[in-house]
Chain A
Amino acid sequence: MSKGNGLIPSKLHGADALRTASVGLRTRKLRAALSALGIMIGIAAMVGVLGLSESSKSDLLAQLDRLGTNLLTVQAGTGIGIGAGELPDEAAGMISRIGPVEQTSTVSTVDANVYKSDYVPAGQTGGITVQAVDVNLLETLAGSIADGKFLDGATATYPTAVLGSVAAERLGIREVTGTQQIWLGEQWFTVIGVLDEFELNPDLDRAALVGLTTAEDFLDHDTVPTSVLVRVDPDYVDAVTGVLPATANPQNPEEVEVARPSDALEAKEAADDAFTALFLGLGAVALLVGGVGIANVMVISVLERRSEIGLRRALGATKRHVAVQFLGEALLLSVVGGIGGVILGWAVTGVYANVRGWGTLVPPIAIAGGIAAALLIGAVAGLYPAIRAARLSPTEALRST
């Protein structure tokens, strides 16, 4: 300070400080780009991971919202001492009398195979099952029809079938013409509809669905429910789950399995969360390595630019001005890397989300946090080199050629 000695203190305007901080970046472009790259990769990894997990989470929430979390499946358990269990005939009827149950739909597995025609050898079943179902199945499962129609009161009594998406593909049926026939249980069945994928019950994708009455009349099937699909008032899901086994099979409630298909989706998401944490950790490591890279480059830069430091001191720069210059350079490097990383992370999220058909959602906190993390790393990485540069005595700095 000019303690009354009349000297006007040295001064460096903000814009000039920025300009001096960018000297190294402009004169050593490749090195600057490479050292910013480390930070960029770290930030991109973190932004990308947060963006992807957020995008997939929002997609899952939308999916759950659409499908509902109030679907329960009641199945006869299979296992040692139980064998392939069966539910009592009256299971669906009894379940529907539980107060909060809104809808039930019976599925009964038919012992029959499906072929494209009667010339196909019996062994080549294509893994397609035949299921006798209620006409309200589509509604209960929140499924949708890809082409044609689902079973209704009329078609559920005739030899007609609706194919799950995988079954249709295996039978080579892409669209429904109304005249296509399949060889089902030693008889010709007319295909009246093809379904979209079931998100909640993928088993039915590999099935040919026929009406319950059709199964009894044409396939000699004795309707025993294999499973009952139940839609429950969302507020009473847990309560209903508790009473379902005893209601479905009062004699052997322990043989009844109750599942909530939406749990599987959530479990999948939880598994993804574990990966998110892993990738975040990797991003943090990349960021750290990037920071070390910047510190390294800055230390070298200070050594190489001793004469510039000496010159600036001779021109009237204070120690602080020199420190500000080199700290500023480290910050610029890391901010350039940080912004690049955010853009890259966003792009990665956008491309991946697009491929998966999700909406791109990069949380603002990831962007702000990414840039803030880059700044912090830059500040830490630049501090030591900046102090070293400032402490260099002008004579020593000028002596080196």
Chain B
Amino acid sequence: MTSTVTGEGTAPAGMTDVVLSLHGVTKQYPTTPPVHALRGVDFSVTDGELVGVVGPSGSGKSTLLHIMGTLDRPTAGEVTVAGYNISDLSDKDLSALRSRHIGFVFQQFHLLSGYTALDNVADGLLYTGLNVHTRRDLAEEALLRVGLGHRLSHVATKLSGGERQRVAVARALVGTPSIVLADEPTGNLDTKNSDAIVELIRQINDEGVTFVVITHNREIAEAFPRTAGLLDGRIEYDTGVRR
């Protein structure tokens, strides 16, 4: 059932291990004076990794996430996601790439307030072309995975912050993406819920899902198997996979 979602078999062969790679990526915003958000970033993630990217505000974290998530294109450099070089793809193709290969978790959760947890998660598959029954079945599965089996029909606004972020994680997972990008996933949560979400991410990574977590919280980032430090638009350090 899940193989229909990824369409992985059709990806160009040869780089199956590397899910995401950035090569010499620069991003410059044409303001006056111009802002150099990223200055030649080389970064790659292989299948099954859990990477924490840490940096202070203004270090280019958000820009990096947007470029990794194909929501924005680099000024220079090469970005490859799930085997696709994004400079070869049109805007429409990028939408297709996102719908099948990239999952997002945001700091503000971004749930539709009037909808149930189940419908919010099912919306993660809205643009894949799957029919509504399949979407709901998969959404239920995903909610069970994040431990919200008892909250399926709760409206998003009735859920606690921690539960909302779990719903958002489930929405990111539901399409079995090649990579999940989390932008400050604990930024709007208290310590207890924050720890629980980090634990959830670890647990899901253990099941084989590739994660990149962007955060300003050094403690969280450094607890992950691999940590990369971002400063002034450059990767300052990259621990590689520890142990």
A1-16 interface code vs B (CB 8 A; 1 in, 0 out) = 1100111111111011
The answer on a CB contact under 8 Å between A7 and B113 is no
The answer on a CB contact under 8 Å between B7 and A6 is yes
- Output the nearest chain B residue to A322 by Cβ-Cβ distance: B95
The answer on a CB contact under 8 Å between A401 and B96 is no
The answer on a CB contact under 8 Å between A307 and B110 is yes
Q: Does B124 contact A (CB under 8 A)?
A: yes
- Output the nearest chain A residue to B102 by Cβ-Cβ distance: A314
Q: Contacts A308-B112, A314-B98, A316-B100 known; A12 to B126 CB distance under 8 Å?
A: yes
The answer on a CB contact under 8 Å between A318 and B91 is yes
CB < 8 Å neighbour of A315 from B12, B62, B90, B98: B98
Interface of chain A, helix or strand or loop or mixed? helix
Q: How far is the CA of A321 from the CA of B127 in the complex (A)?
A: 9
Contact residue range for chain A?
A: 35 or more
**Which of the segments A128-136, A174-182, A391-399 contacts the partner chain?**
A391-399
Q: Contacts A6-B10, A316-B127 known; A1 to B92 CB distance under 8 Å?
A: yes
Contact residue range for chain B?
A: 35 or more
The answer on a CB contact under 8 Å between A401 and B108 is yes
The answer on a CB contact under 8 Å between B71 and A314 is yes
The answer on a CB contact under 8 Å between B112 and A23 is yes
Q: Does A116 contact B (CB under 8 A)?
A: no
**Which of the segments B128-136, B207-215, B226-234 contacts the partner chain?**
B128-136
The answer on a CB contact under 8 Å between B7 and A8 is yes
Q: Does B99 contact A (CB under 8 A)?
A: yes
Q: How far is the CA of A8 from the CA of B129 in the complex (A)?
A: 9
The answer on a CB contact under 8 Å between A10 and B127 is yes
Q: How far is the CA of A340 from the CA of B66 in the complex (A)?
A: 45
Q: Could you name 5 residue pairs across A and B whose Cβ atoms are closer than 8 Å?
A: A5-B88, A9-B92, A10-B96, A26-B114, A311-B106
Interface residues of A (CB under 8 A from B): 1-2, 5-13, 15-16, 20, 23, 26-27, 307-308, 310-321, 393-395, 398-399, 401
Known contacts A11-B129, A314-B98, then 14 further A-B pairs from the complex at CB < 8 Å, ordered by chain A residue? A7-B84, A8-B7, A12-B126, A16-B132, A20-B126, A23-B114, A27-B114, A311-B110, A315-B124, A318-B91, A318-B92, A394-B66, A394-B71, A395-B66
